[in-house]
Amino acid sequence: MRKAIFAFFFCAFSVAATAQTQNKLVINAGTDGPQISKYIYGHFAEHLGRCIYDGIWVGLDSNIPNINGYRKDVFEALKALQMPVLRWPGGCFADTYHWKDGIGPKAQRPKIKNVFWGGTVEDNSFGTHEFLNLCEMLGCDAYVSANVGSGTVQEMVEWIEYMTSDDDVEMVNLRRQNGREKPWNVKFLGIGNESWGCGGNMTPEYYADLMKQYSTYVWEYGRDKMKRVGCGANGEDYNWTRVLMQKGARNMDALSLHYYTIAGESWNNKSAATGFDESLYFAGLRKALRMSELVDRHSRIMDEFDPRKRVGLYVDEWGIWTDVEPGTNPGFLFQQNSMRDALIASATFDIFNRNCERVKMANIAQTVNVLQAMILTKGNQMVLTPTYHVFNLYKVHGDASLLPASLISESYSYGNEKIPALSQTVSRDAQGRIHVSVSNLNPAQPVKLLVELNGQNVKKVNSAIVLTAPFFNAVNTFDKPETVKPAPFKAYKLVSENMLEMTLPSASVVTLELQ
């Protein structure tokens, strides 16, 4: 058993080689690795800019076609994505949110100022019912972030009761009065957000005590229904993880991690989402790949206190953060989304997937119109981003078994730096189908790859899809919404029962289904 585990980890590493090297992916299909949680393909929607209002919710009186107030086009696109989990209401907004503002007759809901995001007036027309009904309609699990920064234990407990209880008690009867008889199923509860920053500027020691206090009552009221998510570290703040695990590993089911990719030099110079050159293309990918080191080092600390990996690592905010689109409100974080960003998504998924014994959830920031979004909207128009298409290509890996695979990859060099040109995930689903996803990060060179399958023969290739673009910085716009879109992939050949040859176009993601 020990040997098998060692072999698996050994095989999961990629090896960067020179340009002359034969790129090769060797898959051990005779062994099932750990399960890749479907929640790795999760999402995040905050009351920020035009994510909720305009992006998801337009209200019943809108001219934009809607289903009970939800934008029809966006709803249908999200449904097609089979999103497994949606995190809400923030983000920084969560620690200013008082849930009772968002229930009851809409005209009576108080208006509040959204202090973190643009100072806009929040009319609370999208609240608990609107969020949880959306999750039910989408068939996804709900991840609710409770207010620790400016809330109270009592406020959180009453929210839990309101959402999940069937008892004859005040909060539940209030819910019934507001039109919802049966409780909703809320699977995940975040105990604060970025408590080291916008969520209260706390030290890890102080937050750990608070987390334990709050989490006691989640258990008491939510019983076994909810996974309690402790607020985790900002990037490489390993001390935060250590203190939380040391003091509170038994009081939480998961610990989060936030990491954003900044292609530019700093947060003050993030760089544009469009029209960037190869140096920013390369920098974006190189910095996104840092996720590997972060996950590895946080996991190792978690292993010290939780060797059986009971506590999940939830990367519940990730993605590229660029300058906002010129002319848009800087507080709204509206940015375009390019082929580079699609590759950031695929390479990041590969990192999460190969660490799926610890990484049990990830939520890209954010679903619509904010940061690395799946969907952009303008009036009644909607465009699917390159990142949306990667989620669609990768959803086949959700809840599948990771297959051990070793990759020999040439490097992609820029200036004095280099990264592996190739990145991969291979998994087997419940029906026994093998899905191979490979990305070529090199924006100028197609890459030839030999794929060898051991332990199982390939009878046929059921499907092969490629996502690529005319330029590495290509985007989908409202005028040209299909510049970057998936297409059938033909550049492969089954050379024997267990050997495939393929040529990956420059800057591309390919997913094959083998049987």
At its nearest, how many Å lie between ligand AHR and the CB of residue 48? 6
How far apart are the C-alpha atoms of 406 and 62, rounded to whole Å? 52
- Read off the amino acid at residue 407: L
Helix (H, G, I), strand (E, B) or coil at 399: coil
Q: Which is nearer to ligand AHR, 370 or 419 (CB)?
A: 370
Question: Does 317 qualify as catalytic in the annotation?
Answer: yes
At its nearest, how many Å lie between ligand AHR and the CB of residue 93? 6
Pairing mode, strands 254-261 and 312-320: parallel
337 in Cβ contact with 386 (< 8 Å): yes
Tokens of 280: 């920013």
Q: Which position among 122, 130, 161, 194 bears the catalytic label?
A: 194
Sequence length of the chain is 515
At its nearest, how many Å lie between ligand AHR and the CB of residue 112? 16
> Which neighbouring-strand residues pair with 408?
15, 24
Closest residue (Cβ) to ligand AHR? 91
Q: Please report, as ranges, the residues that interact with ligand AHR according to CB under 6 A.
A: 46, 90-92, 193-194, 317, 365-366, 371
At its nearest, how many Å lie between ligand AHR and the CB of residue 435? 30
110 in Cβ contact with 121 (< 8 Å): no
At its nearest, how many Å lie between ligand AHR and the CB of residue 294? 16
Question: Does 76 qualify as catalytic in the annotation?
Answer: no
Q: Which is nearer to ligand AHR, 325 or 501 (CB)?
A: 325
At its nearest, how many Å lie between ligand AHR and the CB of residue 371? 6
> Which neighbouring-strand residues pair with 438?
424, 510
- Read off the amino acid at residue 238: Y
29 in Cβ contact with 455 (< 8 Å): yes
Q: Which position among 122, 130, 161, 317 bears the catalytic label?
A: 317
Measure the CA dihedral 333/376/345/512, to 10°. Answer: 180
Nearest alpha-carbon partner for 437 in 500, 368, 361, 347: 347
Tokens of 147: 């207010």
Distances from the Cα of 448 to the Cα of 409, 459, 503, 504, angstroms: 10, 22, 4, 6
Q: Which is nearer to ligand AHR, 46 or 158 (CB)?
A: 46
At its nearest, how many Å lie between ligand AHR and the CB of residue 202? 14
Instruction: Enumerate helices (H) and strands (E) in the chain, giving the number of each.
Output: 11, 27
User: Which residue is it, tokens 């495939």?
Assistant: 500
- Report the b/e string of 425-458 with b at 16+ CB within 10 A: bbbbbeeeebbbbbbbbbbeebbebebbbeebeb
Residues recognised as catalytic: 194, 317
